[in-house]
Structure 1
Amino acid sequence: MVEQEQPLLDAFIDVYMSSLKYLDEFISEPAQAFHLSFEQYLILREITQNDQVTLMDIASKRQVTRSAISRQIKVLLKAGYLQQQPDENDRRRLYLLVTPTGAKAERAIRQRINQRFQGWLDVYGDQRAHEILDFIRDFSQVTQMKK
Structure 2
Amino acid sequence: MAEREESLLDAFIDVYMSSLKYLDEFVSEPAKEFHLSFEQYLILRDITQNKDVTLMDIASKRQVTRSAISRQIKVLLKQGYLRQQPDENDRRRLYLLATPAGSKAERVIRQRINSRFQGWVDVYGDDRAHEILNFIREFSQITRMKK
Q: Do both share a fold (TM > 0.5)?
A: yes
Q: Please name the residue that 2:75 is paired with.
A: 75
Q: Look up the equivalent residue of 1:72 and give its one-letter code.
A: Q
SS of 1:33 mapped into structure 2:
helix
TM-score (norm 2): 0.98
After the TM superposition, which segments of 4 or more aligned residues of structure 1 sit over 4 Å from their partners?
none
TM-score (norm 1): 0.98
Instruction: Give deviations 1:5-50, integer Å, cap 9, x for gaps.
Output: 2221111111011001111001000011100000000000000000
Q: Please name the residue that 1:32 is paired with.
A: 32
Per-residue deviation at 1:2? 2.3
Q: Please name the residue that 1:130 is paired with.
A: 130
Per-residue deviation at 1:4? 1.8
Q: Does 1:97 align with 2:97?
A: yes
Q: Please name the residue that 1:14 is paired with.
A: 14
SS of 2:97 mapped into structure 1:
strand
Instruction: Give deviations 1:50-85, integer Å, cap 9, x for gaps.
Output: 000000000011111111000000010111110000
In the alignment, the residues of structure 1 paired with residue 137 and residue 86 of structure 2 have an alpha-carbon distance, to the nearest angstrom, of: 38
Gaps in structure 1 of 5+ consecutive residues: none
Q: Look up the equivalent residue of 1:103 and give its one-letter code.
A: S
